[in-house]
């Protein structure tokens, strides 16, 4: 199964109303890293605000992240004690299938995940004491739709280069708890 049709890194340093949040903690930004993948595993956006340790080079890092989430989704769907559907292990899941995994937490960070019906995966890494980030991820997805999908100059499936989007994203992330 070949999922990686090529990924390239975008290293870049109207809106709908944001859910309330106050900026505390690190100076300025409250999130550490954000990844956006599309359905084929292409990393549309990698944005970091506060990342101290870098172990792999960027494309390896993104492949690892995508692979992790792919496997985690499969795993959570198979181990679900409530669902009646026993699909085959290893078959790729469609965006709506299976229970939706949405975050995991370690002692140093918390990773929040959201997948849209169109296969766009948003991964947000923040400090471990944050609450649930599902609403924030929905808001970021909204920003993506407004400034990227509706941009006449954007070609779907390519890395995001829109200045409007990154500016609004930075502004919004500053307000996250």
Partner 1 sequence: MGREVAESCIDGVIIEMVSAYGRRFYATKPELAAHRIEAIGYQVGHQLIERYTMERPRFNDHLEVIKFICKDFWQELFKKQIDNLKTNHKGTFVLQDNNFRWLTRISIDPSSDNNDGSQGSSSEATNLLLYFPCGIIRGALSNLGIPCAVSADSSNLPFCSFMVRIKA
- Name the residues that contact partner 1, by CB under 8 A: 12, 14, 146-147, 150-153, 161-165
In the complex with partner 1, the residue whose CB is nearer, 11 or 85, is 11
CB of 60 to partner 1, least distance (A): 22
CB 36 within 8 A of CB 44: yes
Instruction: Give DSSP secondary structure letters for 32-100.
Output: EEEEEE-TTS-EEEEEESS-----S-HHHHHHHHHHHHHHHHHHHHHT-SS------TTSPPPTTSS--
CB of 153 to partner 1, least distance (A): 5
CB of 12 to partner 1, least distance (A): 7
Closest Cα to residue 113, out of 97, 121, 77, 127? 121
In the complex with partner 1, the residue whose CB is nearer, 114 or 143, is 143
In the complex with partner 1, the residue whose CB is nearer, 48 or 146, is 146
* C-alpha span between 71 and 65 (Å, rounded): 10
CB of 13 to partner 1, least distance (A): 10
In the complex with partner 1, the residue whose CB is nearer, 85 or 163, is 163
Measured in whole angstroms, how far is the alpha carbon of residue 47 from the centre of its chain? 10
């Amino acid at each position: 199964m070949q999922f990686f049709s090529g990924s390239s890194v975008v290293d870049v340093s109207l809106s709908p109303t944001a859910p309330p949040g106050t900026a505390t903690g690190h100076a300025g930004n409250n999130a550490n890293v954000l990844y956006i993948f599309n359905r084929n595993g292409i990393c549309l956006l990698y944005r970091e605000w506060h990342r101290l340790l870098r172990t792999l080079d960027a494309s390896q890092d993104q492949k690892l992240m995508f692979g992790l989430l792919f496997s985690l989704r499969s795993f959570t769907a198979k181990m679900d004690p409530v669902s009646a559907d026993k699909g085959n292990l290893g078959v790729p899941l469609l965006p709506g299938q299976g229970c939706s995994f949405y975050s995991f937490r370690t002692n140093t960070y918390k990773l929040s995940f959201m997948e849209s019906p169109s296969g766009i995966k948003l991964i947000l890494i923040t400090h471990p004491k944050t609450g649930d980030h599902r609403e924030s991820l929905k808001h970021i997805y909204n920003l993506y739709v407004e400034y990227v999908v509706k941009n006449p100059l954007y070609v779907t499936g390519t890395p995001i280069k829109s200045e409007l989007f990154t500016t609004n994203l930075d502004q919004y992330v500053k307000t996250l708890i």
